[in-house]
Structure 1
Amino acid sequence: MTPIDLGVRQMLRGAPMAGSGLILLTLACWAFFFAGAGTGMDIWRMSVPGFPPATNHGAMMGSPVSVSAMSMTFMWWTMMLAMMMPGAFRHLPSQGTGTLSATANLLGFWISYAGIWLGFSVLATAIQYLLVDASLLHGMKMWSTNSWFSSTLLALAGLYQFTGLKARSLATCQAVPSDRSPVQNGTAYGLNCLISSFPLMLLLFVGGVMNIYWVALLTAVVALEKILPNPKPFSIATGVACLCAAVAVLIN
């Protein structure tokens, strides 16, 4: 039984209705992503399986995929929930605390956690529009059009994997206290998960915001960092891979 299986079993045992709802919501977020996330685009036409990603496409000026900022924010938010929830199931509360039932504890925690990623999605949408205006991001494909920009993001993500801030935030993200309210716990958990994975999430601008191969890869990376008993070797290996990729982007 994997840590994710164990977390899901515990959640369903403690709060079966709410737990089932969160699982269905996560699956719905994935289904929404595969359907184009409200952009009207074919996700497979926006996906590149190779590495490094294509950077020889000219930048496309104008609003990304011609959708509103609100729709783009919603796309980011549902994508973040789809990517982050597989690793989060291991740490969601499965029991009640004090006068709160297991269901109330779980939902309060998740709503606060999801709110953190909504805030990130607003920021990511703003960054995306700025990058398109700066001709660093393709307005339709939503991936980097500049090798130096790609290399910089990869290098920053790689170096961040070796920092103490990364280690502390990941350790705190793995240990959820039980002596605070679900809102406090969910907010703290979300913030630490955001701090630990923020540079990795920015790599979506390298490979493509809706590139299924990059989304799947980053989902696996952040999930493994959360569920491995000792994630440090994996985090270091990820950092080395990012640094090697930063060099590969420039020499190809």
Structure 2
Amino acid sequence: MRTAYLTGLASPNAVLSTLIITTVLAWALVLSIHWTSHAGGEFTDEVALWILMTIGMMAPSAIPMVKTFHRLSTDLDQSSKQSTPTIVFGVAYLIVWGGYAVVAAFLQDTMRTLMIIDDQMKFAVPAISGIFLICAGLFQWSGAKHACLSKCRSPLGFLIGYYEPGLAGAFQVGVRHALFCIGCCWLLMLLVWSGGMMNLVWMALLTTLVVAEKTMPKGLWVARAAGIAFTVLGVAQISLGADDTAYYFDLMSSICGWSA
């Protein structure tokens, strides 16, 4: 019975279910924070929100990599219980992203103190938001983006090059994968300040983009198309200013099938 239980824990379906549950819980807590507290809270609140948001946005896109790692480690690593290396891999991945979230929260708190970001955790000056959007748009076409995205889009290819057996190896591979993911998505994550972190439609749009560019067959071109859209939106924000900015965010949301 114990063997059957451990086998169940180690099954691909169990790994997938764990990731889905983690994502749902993260978003549920994000929604709870949005509904029960104000945006301009304590620094610890900002850190918690950034960590939860990071898990909610990045965990879905990591599903193919985690499932592939699980299969590979189950087949090749007989030194540990079947599920343990996968858990260590996931923990390492989240620790690195957690560090990113803390840095982002610190930047946010600093910019809020300097009144660069308003109480909705959105850039107070449209020109700054526009510059961010243009930079993100150009980055989507860059060699660095392509190099990092290619690692995220090819789980087996990544693991063939970087897999290490044992728990220490699993931790190392998890850290390395997280670093490639940060290299791919660090600027996309910061775009929450352009639409506003309290704008759940904008956050959902960014999450969908992260998942699509990592998992869809034409994900690279999804990333590049998004780059064009960000650039156009950034130019519009700089040119038109605050009065017409909200219209363009609503328009992008409508194009993607959402309503605010």
Question: Residue 104 of structure 2 corresponds to which residue in structure 1?
Answer: 124
| Counterpart residue type for residue 192 of structure 1 | F
Q: 1:29 and 2:4 equivalent? A: no
Give the corresponding residue for 2:54: 80
Query: What do residues 51-98 of structure 1 show as CA deviations (whole Å, max 9, x unaligned)?
Result: xxxxxxxxxxxxx6232x222211100111011111111211232241
- Decide whether the 8 Å contact of 2:212 with 2:219 is kept in 1: yes
Q: Residue in 1 aligned with 2:238?
A: 250
Match of 2:132 among 153, 159, 165: 153
Report how far residue 154 of structure 1 moved: 0.2
> What does 1:229-244 align with in structure 2 at a 5 Å threshold?
229-244=217-232
Q: Does the residue aligned with 1:233 lie in a helix, a strand or coil?
A: helix
Q: Secondary structure at the match of 1:216?
A: helix
Task: Determine the structure 2 residue equivalent to 1:209.
Answer: 197
Show the 5 A alignment for 1:126-205: 126-138=106-118, 140-174=119-153, 175=155, 176-177=158-159, 179-180=163-164, 181-205=169-193
Gaps of 5+ in 1: 1-10, 42-63
3-state SS in 2 of match to 1:66: coil
AA aligned opposite 1:110: G
The superposition leaves residues 11-35 of structure 1 with CA deviations (integer Å, 9 ceiling, x where unpaired) of 9872555553332222111111111
The structure with the largest helix share of the pair is 2
Aligned amino acid, residue 177 of structure 1: L
Equivalent position amino acid for 1:160 in 2? F
Q: Which residue of 1 aligns with 2:86?
A: 106
Instruction: Name the TM-score, length of structure 1 as normaliser.
Output: 0.80
Q: Give the fraction of aligned pairs with identical amino acids, expressed as a percent.
A: 27
RMSD value, Cα: 2.1
For structure 2, list consecutive stretches of 5 or more residues without a partner in the other structure.
1-7, 241-260
Structure with higher Rg: it is 2
Structure 1 CA distance for aligned equivalents of residues 49 and 36 of structure 2: 8
Q: Please tell me whether the aligned partners of residues 89 and 173 of structure 2 are also in contact (alpha carbons under 8 angstroms).
A: yes
Higher relative contact order (CA 8 A, sep 6+): 1
Q: 1:148 to 1:111 in 2, by over 3 A?
A: same
Q: How many corresponding residue pairs?
A: 218
1:179-214: CA deviation from partner (whole Å, max 9, x where unpaired): 312111111111111110111111111111231011
The Cα offsets for residues 142-184 of structure 1, whole Å up to 9 and x where unpaired, read as: 1111011001100110010111100000111223315312111
Q: Secondary structure at the match of 1:102?
A: coil
